[in-house]
Amino acid sequence: MEKSYTLARVARRRYVARILCYPARVSAVNPPLNPGAPRHSAVVRLTHWLTVIAFFALLVSGVEIVISHPRFYWGETGNVMTTPLFTLHIPSSRDTVPTGYGYVMPDQNGWSRALHFQSAWALLFTGLVYGLFILWTGHLRRDLFPAPRQRTARAYWNVIARYLHRAPPDESEAHSCNAVQRAAYLGVLFILFPLVIWTGLAMSPAFDAAVPAAVNALGGRQSARTLHFFVSGALVLFLVAHVTMVALAGFTSRMRAMITGHASLPPELP
Amino acid sequence: MSHISRRKLITTGLAATAGLGGLAVAARVARRYGLIPPDDGGLYGAGETLNYAAQRLLSSHSLAREFSRGMVSKAPFANEVAPPDDRFKRLQAGGFSGWRLAVSGLVARPGLLSLSDLKSLPVRSQITEVVCEEGWSYIAEWIGTPLADVLNEVGVLPQARYVAYYSADRNWWDSVDMAEALHPQTLLTWGMNDGDLPVGFGGPLRMRVPRQLGYKSVKYITGLTVTDSLKHLGKGLGSPEPEFGYAWYAGI
């Protein structure tokens, strides 16, 4: 009974792996059984680039929205009549905000807000597809949760030491993520993205009416706005680190892997 | 592209057909249950529709947070308004005793209501937050007549779907759906923090819609029109805001 269940599971996973064109068994320990299998599956590649587009739209529109009121507060309320927690020393698109600049930027909040929310929806749907995919195929358990031998402080230290020495990546890293990469991706997926969605929703007056705890637990509307700003900043820091690592690891081959699925050119091409 | 198998092609085709079919069905259902906002067209129409439909499913009957008296902002911010015209100044000189609210459209008893007519209807006060789309906010106590009680008084006809409201500032009007219009916290406000509503904050009469952003809380209200469609009002987008890119539904 136990055996047939396991066989069924293996068969199912192989079938799913085939239709989603992901290598059936890839782990940090074993090299892929099929060297021709793609490094990134089609679903991962598609959701990755949709996330890139949505993230940039959210970032640009988010900056535009901040320009209309570049002051941040803590607690429930805050406006130009109250003391800010901190101020960004940039010009504003509203003449009611004292900035010290002698001019007012054009108002771009209309389309910025519309683009911000539409991109947030696009990112949410993309995240749902990605989330279901990594759960269903075992990509999360196999490739993103730390492998058993990666669950030690030494494993993390080895990776960091290699980064610091600018040493070439380990053989296993051609087919799987190392301990630090896994921690960074899990942090973005399960800490930063949920936090940025939560703090964003907590700024919606209708959502706060439906779920008051969402904003009260953050310490109020202005606290939610300030936290949204910092979590967005953390996501931008991840983006900078991510692109830097891609560039150091070999920009062309890594980009090719995330676009075509294969790190190297197919053999039939010169 | 020989590695794309027939099975994969069929699976993808079926998924795409199911997805498009599902979208078409969702759009029909959404229209039937009033989940499509008037500004559903254009580049950001999909996002506006998702915002409105999601909030209508989630929060149609939710109450905006109310705060304790100690939370009332000591320094509320009135924001800027256009300078008042001569007519407004004359009414202000008369203590707004000549201020009238014109009620028209799909109602049994259209007519004019004075501020004292409004004050003779049920009064409600609430301590709620004004939230500007720019990011700032303040809390005040708002005293007024629930829009639902005014609509009840004039007798709303069953085909009513929206209430449009007009400001003495001629370029300023807006509208809400019946869920928002009949909501107990949607208030035709004439008092603030135990006094009359100051002109800077929209006095003598302001529409307070506490579950939406500040720009839906139009100042200097002079008229209400109950309607079954927003298509024939202005450019048909439910308010002038969508012409400048701002959402008609501002609960987010």
What is the reported pLDDT for B31? 85
Please give the Cα distance from A96 to A83 (Å, whole number).
15
Locate A111 and state its tokens.
């389309």
Q: What residues of chain A, 205 to 224, have a C-beta less than 8 Å from chain B?
A: 205-210, 212, 215-216, 221-222
Is residue A18, in this structure, part of any structural domain at all?
no
How many domains are there within chain B? 1
Residue A6 lies in a domain: no
User: At residue A23, does pLDDT exceed 60?
Assistant: no
- What's the pLDDT score for residue A5? 53
Residue A57 within a domain: yes
Domain-embedded: residue B113: yes
- Residue A167, chain B, CB below 8 Å: the answer is no
Measured CA to CA in angstroms, residue B188 lies from B9, B48, B149, B183, B242 at distances of 59, 26, 10, 12, 23
pLDDT > 80? residue A108 = yes
Residue B120 lies in a domain: yes
In a domain, B230, yes or no: yes
In a domain, A118, yes or no: yes
Residue A108 domain flag: yes
Confirm or reject contact between B76 and chain A (CB < 8 A). Answer: yes
Quick: pLDDT tens for B81-116. 888 899 999 999 999 999 999 999 999 999 999 999
Q: How many CB pairs under 8 A join A and B?
A: 136
Is there a domain that residue B51 lies in?
A: no
Report the candidate in B116, B173, B168, B170 with the shortest Cα–Cα distance to residue B145.
B116
Give the residue numbers spanning the domain of B101: 66-244
How far is the CA of A152 from the CAs of A81, A178, A179, A262, B20, in angstroms? 52, 12, 9, 31, 48
Instruction: Kindly report the nearest CA distance between residue B49 and chain A, in angstroms.
Output: 10
Residue A50 lies in a domain: yes
User: pLDDT category, B7, cuts 50, 70, 90?
Assistant: confident
* Min Cα–Cα distance to chain B from A1, Å: 31
- The tally of domains found in chain A comes to 1
For residue B185, the chain A residue with the least C-alpha distance is A209
CB A81 to CB B48 under 8 A? Answer: no
Beta strands in B8-151 (DSSP E): 100-105, 111-114, 124-131, 137-146
C-beta of residue A39 within 8 angstroms of C-beta of residue A261: yes
Query: What is the structure's pLDDT at B6?
Result: 79
Distance CA B240, CA B187 (A): 21
Whether B116 and chain A come into contact, CB under 8 Å, resolves to no
Residue A11 has what pLDDT?
Answer: 53
The answer to whether the CB atoms of A222 and B59 lie below 8 A apart is: no
Domain with A117 in it: what CATH number? 1.20.950.20
Q: How many residues does this entry show for chain A?
A: 270
- Return the pLDDT at A82: 95
Q: Select the residue of A118, A206, A216 nearest B251 (Cβ to Cβ).
A: A206
The answer as to whether A267 is a domain residue is no
At A60, list the tokens: 């640009």
> Which has the closest alpha carbon to B101: B207, B248, B185?
B207
Q: Is the pLDDT of residue B24 over 70?
A: yes
Q: What is the CATH number of the domain that holds B105?
A: 3.90.420.10
The tens digit of pLDDT for each residue in A43-82 reads: 999 999 999 999 999 999 999 999 999 999 999 999 999 9
Q: Is A45 on the interface with B (CB under 8 A)?
A: no
Average pLDDT, chain B: 93
**Strands (DSSP E) along chain A, which ranges?**
71-72, 86-87
- Whether residue B75 and residue A117 make contact (CB cut-off 8 A), yes or no, is no
Residue A23 falls inside a structural domain: no
Please give the ipTM for the structure prediction. 0.91
Is the distance from CB of A223 to CB of A74 less than 8 angstroms?
Answer: yes
CA distance B64 to chain A (A): 4
Structural domain of A57:
43-260
Position B36 scores a pLDDT of 93
Residue A31 has pLDDT above 90, yes or no: no
Residue B11: closest CA among chain A residues belongs to which residue?
Answer: A19
**Residue B64 token pair:** 């905006």
Question: pLDDT band at residue B33, thresholds of 50, 70 and 90?
Answer: confident
Residues in chain A with CB shorter than 8 Å from the CB of B79 are: 96
Task: Please give the backbone phi and psi of residue A240, each rounded to the nearest 5 degrees, phi first.
Answer: -65, -45
Which of the pair, B145 or B18, is modelled with greater confidence? B145
Residue B33: inside a domain, yes or no? no
